[in-house]
């Protein structure tokens, strides 16, 4: 189920949130939402779709052959003044005006006349500064002072993570070099921290409340392992559209297009791309041969066990990422409902379905409140399978959405859990006796996951359904499935953080 947030509705907070207020909860459904949590077209979700220029023109020259342009690009010096200006523009939109990082980056790159290598440098810096903001602010803060300004923070990132000298960074950003010298003893200062929560938060550049929550929910050792990978770039994973061909056929097509791909560890449909090309520009993508989808998201669709001829409901469908995977499992036979409160997202699901050759998809817009009950009355007790991919805090997607850590507030998981329980009660009514319900989030932690699944089992006419038969015994064992639930974690499985729980509606 989708709600919306305007670009300026939730500012990114400075620092780690230690000893300060945390602002309001996000207006929109957190960083995670029911439906597609798509990756961008390059590894880690950090590049935006390319914008064409009239006549194929590029900055600084006209049209030339591909080899000539490639040679020029290899020899052309980077224009750091323009890169730095774009980075500061995006960082200002995110930090001061509350824009989502990917939206701000798309706008800045659309307006700037940058070469491809410069665009990549801007994206790398924007997400790098956002990831490491908490640690940088702590290291750069003068004794008793507040967080640094945007230029100093960016300069600090260049020094600590970008391989730039302090003098060069100070010159490029016109900031005092003396302030950057605080970074010289960074590792010693971090190593001297004795409080485990403070050390975890600053090592991982997280708000203190979030580091504490991870420790409380996962235990200290598991939390350390998780936080150690949250600042890594996530892989670029795609799902082969089986309505168009097999995974191996897709792999061969990608190789012919110059993109290397390896089969995913767990999903039978997935490939991990090398990330060096814009996936959206590939001919195989335009032909509907694949969708960009995290491996964990693919596994949720697999656990639904949708079959040909069934009536299937994706109750919080968004732009249809999982619905399209369900359509492939159904072999285009039966009825697949994509339901959401956001008309625009459902329109996007329709467009994607046409590209993918899906013709059994139906969409329905419903209210985001109790008025949805009457709008769904005709589907009550009709579905063989219902997926509730509920809005959530999105704590499992922090690798792809690094700005989310600074937007969330300590009480947000509990607020989402209240909504999740409401949605579970609403959409579970669509399951027919003997039918299946799958509850899923892209959150990490008991509050939005096991606690909500427990509420479903305790208060609704559903029994837990083992995930092993749905995922396959060998795959379930490799994933560490226990009974009817599974928590996917980036450091264990290489996926984003997802949770799923399966149930069967009682026949009596």
Catalytic center residues: 442
- End-to-end alpha carbon distance in the chain: 30
What is the C-alpha to C-alpha distance for residues 315 and 107, in angstroms, rounded to an integer? 32
SS3 230: coil
Q: Point out which residues pair with 441 in neighbouring strands.
A: 499
Angle at 419 (CA atoms; ends 395, 465), nearest 5 degrees: 80
**Which of these, 395, 344, 398, lies nearest to 101 by C-alpha position?**
398
DSSP-assigned letter for residue 328: H
Is 394:443 a contact under the CB 8 Å cutoff?
A: yes
**Which of these, 292, 280, 299, 288, lies nearest to 319 by C-alpha position?**
292
Torsion of CA 338, 339, 341, 347, to 10 degrees: 20
The number of beta carbons lying within 10 Å of the beta carbon of residue 475 is 18
List b or e across 434-448, with b for residues whose CB sees 16 or more CB atoms inside 10 angstroms. Answer: ebbbbbbbbbbbbbb
**Which of these, 268, 360, 244, lies nearest to 308 by C-alpha position?**
360
User: Where do we find the tokens 């080899």?
Assistant: 67
Torsion angles phi and psi, residue 45, rounded to 5: 75, 30
Is 145:155 a contact under the CB 8 Å cutoff?
A: no
Q: Crossing angle of helices 295-304/321-329, nearest 10°? A: 50
Alpha helices by DSSP H, 257-400: 283-286, 295-304, 321-329, 343-356, 372-375
**Which of these, 384, 401, 395, 255, lies nearest to 326 by C-alpha position?**
384
List b or e across 313-323, with b for residues whose CB sees 16 or more CB atoms inside 10 angstroms. Answer: bbbbbbbbbbb
Is 179:148 a contact under the CB 8 Å cutoff?
A: yes
Torsion of CA 399, 403, 407, 410, to 10 degrees: 30
What is the C-alpha to C-alpha distance for residues 33 and 46, in angstroms, rounded to an integer? 19
Tokens of 268: 């039978």
- The helix/strand count (H/E) of the chain reads as 24, 12
What is the C-alpha to C-alpha distance for residues 222 and 109, in angstroms, rounded to an integer? 38
DSSP 301-326: HHHH---TT-EEEETT-TT-HHHHHH
């Amino acid at each position: 189920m989708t709600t919306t947030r305007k670009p300026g509705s939730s500012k990114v907070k400075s620092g780690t949130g230690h000893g300060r207020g945390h602002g309001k909860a996000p207006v929109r459904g957190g960083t995670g939402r029911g439906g597609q949590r798509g990756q961008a077209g390059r590894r880690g979700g950090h590049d935006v779709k390319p914008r064409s220029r009239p006549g194929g023109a590029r900055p600084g020259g006209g049209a030339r052959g591909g080899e000539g342009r490639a040679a020029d690009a290899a020899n052309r010096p980077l224009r750091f003044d323009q890169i730095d200006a774009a980075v500061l523009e995006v960082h200002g939109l995110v930090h001061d005006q509350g824009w989502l990082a990917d939206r701000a980056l798309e706008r800045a790159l659309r307006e700037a006349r940058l070469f491809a290598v410069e665009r990549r440098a801007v994206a790398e810096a924007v997400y790098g500064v956002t990831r490491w903001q908490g640690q940088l602010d702590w290291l750069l803060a003068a004794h008793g002072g507040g967080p640094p300004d945007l230029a100093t923070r960016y300069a600090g990132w260049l020094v600590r993570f970008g391989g730039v000298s302090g003098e060069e960074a100070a010159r490029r950003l016109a900031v005092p070099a003396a302030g950057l010298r605080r970074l010289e003893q960074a590792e010693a200062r971090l190593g001297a921290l004795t409080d485990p929560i403070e050390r975890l938060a600053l090592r991982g550049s997280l708000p203190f409340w979030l580091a504490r929550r991870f420790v409380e929910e996962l235990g200290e050792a598991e939390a350390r392992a998780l936080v150690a990978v949250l600042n890594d770039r996530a892989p670029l994973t795609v799902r082969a559209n089986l309505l168009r061909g097999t995974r191996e056929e897709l792999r061969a097509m990608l190789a012919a297009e110059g993109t290397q791909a390896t089969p995913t560890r767990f999903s039978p449909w997935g490939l991990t791309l090398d990330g060096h090309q814009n996936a959206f520009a590939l001919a195989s993508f335009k032909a509907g041969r694949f969708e960009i989808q995290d491996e964990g998201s693919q596994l949720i669709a697999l656990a639904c066990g949708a079959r040909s001829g069934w009536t299937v409901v994706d109750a919080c469908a968004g732009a249809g990422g999982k619905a399209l995977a369900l359509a492939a499992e159904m072999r285009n036979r039966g009825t697949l409902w994509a339901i959401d409160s956001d008309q625009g997202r459902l329109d996007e699901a329709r467009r994607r379905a046409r590209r993918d050759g899906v013709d059994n998809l139906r969409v329905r817009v419903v209210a985001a409140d109790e008025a949805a009950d009457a709008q769904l009355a005709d589907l009550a007790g009709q579905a063989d399978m219902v997926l509730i991919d509920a809005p959530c805090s999105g704590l499992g997607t922090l690798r792809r959405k690094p700005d989310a850590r600074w937007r969330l507030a300590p009480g947000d998981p509990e607020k989402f859990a209240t909504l999740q329980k409401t949605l579970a009660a609403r959409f579970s009514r669509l399951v027919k006796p003997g039918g299946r319900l799958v509850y899923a989030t892209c959150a990490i932690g008991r509050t939005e996951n096991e606690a909500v699944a427990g509420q479903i089992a305790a208060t609704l006419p559903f029994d837990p359904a083992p995930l092993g038969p749905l995922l396959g015994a060998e795959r379930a064992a490799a994933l560490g499935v226990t009974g009817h639930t599974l928590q996917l974690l980036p450091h264990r499985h290489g996926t984003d953080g997802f949770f799923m729980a399966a149930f069967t509606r009682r026949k009596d």
